[in-house]
Amino acid sequence: MKNPGQPSSLPANVSIEPRRLDFQSIEGKPRYWHPVAVFTHLLTAASLFFPEGERFFVRSVQYYAGDIKDPQLRQDIAGFMQQETIHGEAHERYNYDIADQGYPYLRRIERFLIKGIFTLVQRLFPKQVQLALTVCLEHVTATLAGGLLKYQELMEDASPEYREIWFWHAVEESEHKAVAYDVYLAIGGSYWIRVSTLVASSLFFLVMVLYVTGRMLKTDGLLFDGRTWREARIYARDRRSVFKAIGKDFIQFFRRDFHPWQIDNRHDIEMWKKNYAETGRAA
């Protein structure tokens, strides 16, 4: 470890707070909880990665945790691990509920394929690369989370029992978005490893998410349905500027001096927390 004293970058008015929320059950709720079927399945496909992915993130950060000297960063790591553990459990329930709607293969994909991939990475790659993978996938989730919180119209007309879990997760991803990155700085992690890992992992993630989405649409008999794709195209076209802005945040990672808090979304986190405190609901 090159710089075990690497200080935490957590802004003063942000705290990494693990929240065990009582979500409304999604059992018996609409199959297309988002008005656009393709978008519904895209998010479920992403969710499929969370339980195993987040367990992997925790392990990769935990490996270096004992060497970190900065007390605040040590505290951030503890908060990060608690949040990710709870997310994994919540999304496991979410994924199983969706699988029970008529997509039984989702359980197999999660239990064998995705778990197998993370196990393989852990066996084959050096610890620095494992941490870099966490840093990259945390960047992917933080970018999507930041976009979801900033452009809430993306979830307009979505069923509240689903919206809640996504907004709750988005807020906590934003709160801890720099923890793995700060640990990566502490170990003197390489720029080239981090950017090449981002390219490889996001391409892989994209292919997997598209595969799962396609398979779910096929189950629904919608894979070759013109109306379904037209609806998705119109939805994406009408929000082109939003997707462009999210894409712009994503590519910031390629800057040598990139740091997750350069994308400042503290205001969006605050707004969610205020609404949650007032209404008791996470949506």
Q: Which stretch binds Fe ion (CB under 5 A): 67-75, 76-84, 239-247, 269-277?
A: 76-84
Q: Which stretch binds Fe ion (CB under 5 A): 108-116, 167-175, 232-240, 258-266?
A: 167-175
Q: Does 163 bind Fe ion (CB under 5 A)?
A: no
Q: Which is nearer to Fe ion, 172 or 193 (CB)?
A: 172
Q: Which is nearer to Fe ion, 168 or 276 (CB)?
A: 168
CB of 148 to Fe ion, least distance (A): 13
87: tokens are 């997310």
CA distance 246 to 241: 9
Residues 65 and 8: beta-carbon distance below 8 Å: no
CA distance 264 to 261: 5
Q: Which is nearer to Fe ion, 181 or 276 (CB)?
A: 181
Residues 235 and 36: beta-carbon distance below 8 Å: yes
Distance of CA 260 to the CA centre of its chain: 14
Binding mask 120-159 for Fe ion (x = CB under 5 A): ------------------x---------------------
For residues 215-254, which are near Fe ion according to CB under 5 A? none
Binding-residue total with Fe ion (CB under 5 A)? 4
Using DSSP's 3-state secondary structure scheme, residue 220 falls into coil
Residues 43 and 216: beta-carbon distance below 8 Å: no
Q: Which is nearer to Fe ion, 229 or 258 (CB)?
A: 258
Q: Which stretch binds Fe ion (CB under 5 A): 12-20, 172-180, 210-218, 262-270?
A: 172-180
* Residues contacting 232, CB < 8 A, separation 6+: 36, 37, 38, 39
Q: Which is nearer to Fe ion, 76 or 138 (CB)?
A: 138
CB of 231 to Fe ion, least distance (A): 29
* Residues contacting 64, CB < 8 A, separation 6+: 1, 127, 131, 183, 186, 187
Q: Which is nearer to Fe ion, 84 or 268 (CB)?
A: 84
Residues 167 and 144: beta-carbon distance below 8 Å: no
Torsion-angle region of residue 207: left (phi > 0), alpha (psi -120 to 50) or beta? Answer: alpha
Can you tell me which of 87, 139, 150, 163 binds Fe ion, judged by CB under 5 A? Answer: 87
Q: Exposed, middle or buried: residue 213 (CB in 10 Å: 0-12, 13-18, 19+)? A: buried
In the complex, residue closest to Fe ion by CB:
87
Q: What is the dihedral of CA 248, 249, 253, 258, to 10 degrees?
A: 120
CB of 87 to Fe ion, least distance (A): 4
Q: Which stretch binds Fe ion (CB under 5 A): 62-70, 108-116, 171-179, 201-209?
A: 171-179
Q: Which is nearer to Fe ion, 87 or 150 (CB)?
A: 87
CB of 114 to Fe ion, least distance (A): 15
Could you list the residues that contact Fe ion (CB under 5 A)? 84, 87, 138, 173
